[in-house]
Structure 1
């Protein structure tokens, strides 16, 4: 019981392998593309303001970050009814984490 291979089947196999090999080459990045490993080690010296998107120097960016972190505490003025509703919704959410079948 021997395996018979014809020249056509061998040639067809070679053509298929060649076609598959060229498909893999398309997935490679272009040669002029900078590798990600090099990009990760670069030090970023320009920054954008998170407030308005303007370009900042590193010193200005650090100063702005410090100002934003040390800014006044945000205490929204809400009516007592809205505060109570928010508190009840948070309580309901907390209860549903332990008893999901309740409060449907």
Structure 2
């Protein structure tokens, strides 16, 4: 029964959850960073991310029509949309 208990040097999870993390590792090269350096690096990486791809208005309109058609088919399944 005693073997099932964790070793006395293990810190309880409740204490570990309240611990404030003061250093981190860089996601790029794994170097140790302070909390401020890590925050700056993450902010710069988010700024360097590519912008969302632009979709033309014609494609947006076609997608709208396809969604509308699928909703109409749910309500009126006997209509024939094959054209």
State the TM-score, normalizing by the size of structure 2.
0.56
Q: Which residue of 2 aligns with 1:31?
A: 8
Gaps of 5+ in 1: 1-23, 76-104
Gaps of 5+ in 2: 53-83
Q: Which residue of 1 aligns with 2:41?
A: 64
Take 2:49 and 2:5, find their aligned partners in 1: how far apart are those partners? Answer: 51
Taking only aligned residues, the RMSD between alpha carbons, in angstroms, comes to: 1.7
Take 1:42 and 1:70, find their aligned partners in 2: how far apart are those partners? Answer: 29
Q: Which residue of 1 aligns with 2:69?
A: none
Q: Which residue of 2 aligns with 1:49?
A: 26
Q: Tell me how far 1:72 sits from its aligned partner.
A: 4.4
Q: Which string of whole-angstrom CA distances, capped at 9 and with x for unpartnered residues, describes residues 5-38 of structure 1?
A: xxxxxxxxxxxxxxxxxxx221101122211110
Take 1:57 and 1:70, find their aligned partners in 2: how far apart are those partners? Answer: 20
* Structure with bigger gyration radius: 1
